[in-house]
């Protein structure tokens, strides 16, 4: 791989130990994937923030990098294992809270914005069409590539951190136009509405095409929230980091000849397959993290009512601040629902605390059962609130 004089200096250690290590990670990745050069990035999203996933080994790596590492570009963080302010009310142990705090301190020391969210595009890490970025978090990667038209691979925690500390990423994969073309057309034969149904569509398509890039026809309308849910689901069930929806997403693509259909029956079956439990004892809305529009809807549905079970709204802290200003928080908390900022029902250490999770998120169902052993129930946001009030 060809390096510029500045990049060579970074690799030789002339810009400090953390930058040297970061450059070693990037050049090794570049060699593996056949990149010809490193290209500048202007935005980074780092995943692997929960102490639950990192453990002491991960924390030690971060602490070493934080000794002299400082980020060169706007960098945000994925959800952590707990609400950084309100962890006690959510049943998180003091020991876990201390360890999670050490992780966040290491990130902060490097100049990373420690608002922990999987929807960085809602809190100021907004990227533009055609821009090269280095993001981790499969749902955000899929959203930024497909809906915003930025260009990123599915980075891991260390490679995203390395891009943040150097301002570069190897040019391969989704950074190259030839790898962003659709390979299969999907004809959706039924009307899809709401985050639950878009999540189910993502599951059906993801399971059919794996990590191929789809050109999807037959969708007339899709809100940002529906696309957020779809991006999370197609990336979870299939593994792709990019899709095209005719008339909705902005990237140019060749239109493939091979075409398959998605029927109403398949959507129904996908929903049935995520309904593995009945009476939920835990309801969680906000996977990916809830938008202010979703929170406004929840507040409207809960006005003057009381929930009967544990209910979380997971969102970014700056979005909750808007909810505070608008009075949504008071309505929601008066009903007995808890905000869980900075975290979610998957990355929080809550395995064994609940039996059945009710959510509007197909991704939430996948990891709720896979990681936390919950039975799951999928419903629209309105349906989740009904379940919470039962
Ligand atoms: Fe975000 Fe957690 Fe879902 S990180 S996409 S809310 S599993």
Q: Which two tokens stand for residue 300?
A: 């409207």
> 126: Cβ–Cβ under 8 A, 6 or more apart, which residues?
148
Q: From the CA of 232, give the closest atom in ligand 1.
A: 5
- Check: CB of residue 386 under 8 Å from CB of residue 379: yes
Q: What is the pLDDT of residues 48-67, one digit of tens each?
A: 999 988 999 999 999 999 99
Residue 93: pLDDT band with limits 50, 70, 90: very high
Sequence-distant (≥ 6) Cβ neighbours of residue 20 within 8 angstroms: 10, 11, 12, 13
Q: Is the CB of 232 under 6 A from ligand 1?
A: yes
Distance between Cα 382 and ligand 1 center (Å): 20
**Domain range summary for the chain, segments of one domain joined by +:** 5-176, 181-273, 275-389
What tens digit of pLDDT does each residue of 164-218 get? Answer: 999 999 999 999 999 999 999 999 999 999 999 999 999 999 999 999 999 999 9
Answer whether 377 contacts ligand 1 (Cβ < 6 A): no
- CA 384 – CA 360 distance, rounded (Å): 7
388 close to 337: Cβ distance less than 8 angstroms: yes
For the Cβ of 363 lying below 6 angstroms from any atom of ligand 1, the answer is: yes
Element (H, E) at 335: none
Q: Smallest Cα–Cα separation from 56: which of 84, 87, 98, 86?
A: 98
> The tokens of 119 are what?
């929807």
Q: Is 81 in the pocket of ligand 1 (CB under 6 A)?
A: no
Q: What is the Cβ-side half-sphere exposure of residue 388, based on CA atoms within 13 angstroms?
A: 28
The whole-number average pLDDT for the span 361-387 is 97
What is the Cα–Cα distance from 368 to 362, expressed in whole angstroms? 10
**CA-wise closest residue to 283 among 193, 380, 205:** 380
Supply the pLDDT for residue 290.
98
Q: Is 229 in the pocket of ligand 1 (CB under 6 A)?
A: no
5-176 and 275-389 have identical folds = yes
Nearest of 268, 270, 290 to residue 384 by alpha carbon:
290
**How far away, in angstroms, is 78 Cα from ligand 1 center?**
8
Q: Give residue 103's pLDDT.
A: 96
SS3 content of the chain, % helix, strand, coil (to 5): 45, 15, 35
pLDDT digits (tens, 9 = 90+) for 256-297: 999 999 999 999 999 999 999 999 999 999 999 999 999 999
Alpha carbon of 234 to ligand 1 centroid (Å):
14
**Could you tell me the fold of the domain covering 5-176?**
Aconitase; domain 3 (3.30.499)
Name the residue of 47, 139, 154 whose CB sits within 8 Å of the most ligand 1 atoms, as the mutation to test its pocket. Answer: 139
Q: Kindly state if the Cβ of 312 falls inside 6 Å of ligand 1.
A: no
Residue range 242-263, pLDDT digits in tens: 999 999 999 999 999 999 999 9
Ligand 1 pocket check for 244: Cβ under 6 Å: no
8 Å CB contact between 152 and 240 = no
pLDDT on residue 115: 95
What would the pLDDT profile of 130-145 be if each residue is shown by its tens digit? 999 999 999 999 999 9
Distances (CA, A) of 16 to 9, 68, 111: 10, 7, 16
For the Cβ of 285 lying below 6 angstroms from any atom of ligand 1, the answer is: no
Ligand 1 midpoint to CA 288 (Å): 5
User: How does the average pLDDT of the chain come out, rounded?
Assistant: 97
* Confidence at residue 84, expressed as pLDDT on a 0 to 100 scale: 95
What does the pLDDT read at residue 43? 98
Instruction: Return the percentage of the chain with pLDDT > 90, whole number.
Output: 98
User: Cα(35)–Cα(168) distance, rounded to whole angstroms?
Assistant: 12
345 Cα nearest atom in ligand 1? 2
Best mutation site among 342, 347, 369, 371 for ligand 1 pocket (most ligand atoms within 8 Å of CB): 347
Give the residue from 179, 177, 218, 181 showing the smallest Cα distance to 198.
Answer: 218
Q: Check if 348 has its Cβ closer than 6 Å to any atom of ligand 1.
A: no
Q: Is the CB of 289 under 6 A from ligand 1?
A: yes
Nearest CA to ligand 1 atom 1: 288
Number of C-beta neighbours around residue 189 at 10 A: 14
Average the pLDDT over 366-371 and give the result: 96
In ligand 1, the atom with minimum distance to the C-alpha of 137 is: 4
Alpha helices in 136-186 (DSSP H): 138-143, 157-166
Distance 242 CA to ligand 1 centre (A): 18
Write the residue with the smallest CA distance to atom 7 of ligand 1.
346
296 neighbors 320 (Cβ within 8 angstroms): no
Average pLDDT over residues 83-106: 94
- The third-level CATH classification (topology) of the domain covering 275-389 is Aconitase; domain 3 (3.30.499)
* CB contact set of 352 (below 8 Å; sequence gap of 6+): 372, 373
Which residue's CA is the nearest one to ligand 1's atom 2?
344
CB atoms within 10 A of CB 378: 28
Q: In angstroms, what is the span from residue 315 Cα to ligand 1's centroid?
A: 9
> How does pLDDT run across 102-140, given as a tens digit for each residue?
999 999 999 999 999 999 999 999 999 999 999 999 999
pLDDT of residue 25: 98
- pLDDT band (50, 70, 90) for residue 343: very high
Tokens of 260: 């398959």
Are residues 331 and 305 in contact, defined by beta-carbon separation less than 8 angstroms? Answer: no
CB of 213 closer than 8 Å to CB of 181: yes
From 123, 315, 346, 351, give the residue whose CB has the most ligand 1 atoms within 8 Å, as the site to mutate: 346
Strands 184-188 and 259-262: parallel
């Amino acid at each position: 791989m060809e390096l510029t004089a500045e990049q060579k200096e970074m690799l030789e250690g002339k810009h400090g130990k953390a930058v040297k290590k970061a450059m070693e990670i990037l050049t090794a990745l570049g060699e593996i994937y056949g990149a010809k050069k490193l290209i500048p990035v202007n935005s980074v999203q780092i995943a692997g923030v929960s102490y639950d996933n990192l453990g002491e080994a991960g924390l030690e790596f971060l602490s070493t990098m934080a000794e002299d590492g400082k980020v060169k570009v706007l960098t945000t963080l994925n959800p952590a294992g707990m609400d950084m302010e309100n962890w006690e009310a959510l049943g998180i142990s003091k020991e876990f809270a201390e360890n999670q705090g050490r992780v966040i301190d290491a990130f902060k020391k490097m100049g990373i914005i420690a608002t922990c969210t999987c929807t960085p595009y809602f809190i100021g890490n907004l990227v533009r069409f055609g821009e090269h970025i280095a993001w981790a978090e499969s749902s955000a990667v899929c959203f930024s590539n497909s809906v915003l038209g930025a260009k990123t691979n599915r980075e891991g925690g260390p490679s995203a951190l390395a891009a943040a500390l150097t301002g570069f990423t190897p040019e391969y994969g989704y950074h190259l136009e030839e790898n962003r073309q659709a390979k299969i057309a999907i004809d959706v034969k039924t009307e899809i509405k709401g985050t639950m149904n878009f999540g189910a569509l993502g599951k059906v398509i993801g399971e059919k095409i794996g990590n191929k890039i789809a050109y999807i026809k037959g969708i007339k309308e899709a809100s940002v929230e529906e696309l957020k849910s779809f991006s999370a689901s197609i990336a979870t069930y299939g593994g792709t980091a990019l899709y095209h929806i005719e008339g909705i997403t902005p990237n140019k693509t060749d239109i493939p000849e091979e075409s398959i259909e998605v029927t109403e029956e398949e959507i129904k079956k996908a929903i049935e397959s995520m309904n593995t439990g009945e009476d939920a004892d835990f309801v969680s809305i906000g996977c990916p993290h809830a938008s202010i529009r979703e929170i406004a809807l929840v507040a409207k549905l809960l006005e003057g009512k009381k929930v009967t079970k544990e209910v979380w709204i997971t969102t970014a802290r700056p979005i909750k601040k808007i909810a505070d200003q608008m009075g949504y928080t008071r309505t929601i908390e008066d009903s007995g629902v808890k905000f869980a900022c900075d975290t979610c029902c998957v990355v929080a250490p809550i395995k064994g605390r609940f039996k059945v999770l009710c959510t509007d998120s197909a991704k939430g169902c996948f990891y709720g059962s896979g990681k936390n052993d919950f039975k799951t129930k999928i419903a629209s946001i309105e349906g989740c609130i009904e379940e919470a009030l039962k």
